[in-house]
Amino acid sequence: MHTIIRFILFVAMACTLSAQAELVKVKGKGEIVYKTKIFKPGQGSAEERAAITEAKKNALTRFAAAFDSARFELYKKIEPDVLGNIDQYVTDYTQLDQQVDKTSKRYTVVIEASINSTLIESAINKSSNANGPTAAGAIPAKAGGSYMTFVFVARELASIKDYDAKRTTVDINESSSAARQNKNVAEDAQSAETSLDKSSVVKHTTGGNTETKAAEVTYRVMTVTEVDNAVNSVLTKASYEVVDPVDAGLSVDSFKADFASGSDISAATRTIAIKNCKQKEITYIAIANMDVGLPEKDEATGLTRVFVTVTAKVSDLSPKFPKTIASIAGKPYAGLGSNPQVAKQNALNEAATRSASELVDQLRMKGVK
């Protein structure tokens, strides 16, 4: 009975740890040159273990290659520690293939590694918080971070009104004629017959211009609770003290109205937002516009796919004049789902999480806390 209880507790603990850590599967290849005359894989030799270790390192390198430039630079700072404790970050692996080249005495192994991305994220956070300089002029928050507020607005096409091209045509007709008179003498030489041949030429010239009027696009603008929660989570984990936009004195409706008709907020909305944030000692403001694309079929999976394109920037309000310290210019993120609504929601969540993480990485690179 006690054995069963211990087993149940072990399984529960394992499930809890799996839920907390996100494992990413990445393939890796390792290769070593063996010195023995005869090499047999599967014996657990030092050479075989060394090849597997190289494969794990290669998998981590491939994993980091998918990072954006800012995150990759942050990862490079902790890479020596990660590679030095490879088994801590690569929790397990599955061997996919192996080859022995007896001529060159090379042993190659291919694995699929399970990388603990949560642990790598934690190491990046720890390194950034410990070593990064404090931004000049920043107003420290009570909990050790800087106050930040954000507005992430999503919009999708409501209607498109196209106009037919207007064509203006000018016709010019020119004509000319010529005549020739012929005289024929009759056989009796006493009379004559006269005839007149006429020919005419008509010249037709066409010209003009075509005028095309731009389509009128109407957007449906919204804020999404899941998006706000995702962004809030990323910023909070990065040690920023997040202030709700309403508490910061921002009019979210003004942001929505501006994005409904353009790609940026109006000068009036921006001025009021900056003024209110400065009065409440909020150091940073992040503003993002998320354009939701039309649903389409994903050929690889057969599911519905929706792209969300994000344009965002973070402004530092501590100087006399606000300055942009991080930005994303029209970056697309995709979401899949069984139907357009699910695909759109997944795309919004993906876009919110990844764009917020990219902005945070850019801030970390500049030592902004």
pLDDT in tens, 292-316: 998 999 999 999 999 999 999 999 9
Bigger pLDDT: 306 or 39? 306
Q: Coil, strand, or helix at residue 12?
A: helix
The owner of tokens 């990759």 is: 72
Q: Which residue, 122, 49, 142, 126, is CA-closest to 87?
A: 49
What is the longest distance spanned by two Cα atoms in the chain?
Answer: 148
Instruction: Look at residue 162 and tell me whether its pLDDT is greater than 60.
Output: no
What is the reported pLDDT for 59?
95
Give, for 96, the enclosing helix (H) or strand (E).
strand 90-101
Rounded CA-CA distance 317/283 in Å is 5
Residue 190 structure tokens: 């006493």
What is the reported pLDDT for 180?
62
Q: What share of the chain is helix, strand, coil (3-state, %, to 5)?
A: 35, 40, 25
Angle between helices 225-237 and 340-365 (to 10 degrees): 30
Q: What does the pLDDT average to over 23-45? A: 86
pLDDT band at 225 (very low <50, low <70, confident <90, very high): confident
**Ramachandran quadrant class, 249 (left: phi over 0; alpha: psi -120 to 50; beta: rest):** left
pLDDT in tens, 177-210: 665 666 665 566 565 566 656 666 666 666 666 6
Instruction: Look at residue 357 and tell me whether its pLDDT is greater than 50.
Output: yes
Sign of CA dihedral 62, 63, 66, 70: negative
pLDDT band at 38 (very low <50, low <70, confident <90, very high): confident
Rounded CA-CA distance 239/148 in Å is 10
What is the reported pLDDT for 336?
96
Whether 306 and 292 have beta carbons less than 8 Å apart is answered as: yes
Rounded CA-CA distance 92/265 in Å is 49
Give, for 77, the enclosing helix (H) or strand (E).
helix 69-84
Bigger pLDDT: 9 or 271? 271
Rounded CA-CA distance 56/86 in Å is 7
Bigger pLDDT: 144 or 289? 289
Bigger pLDDT: 255 or 2? 255
pLDDT in tens, 82-108: 999 999 999 999 999 999 998 899 999
Q: What does the pLDDT average to over 316-322? A: 91
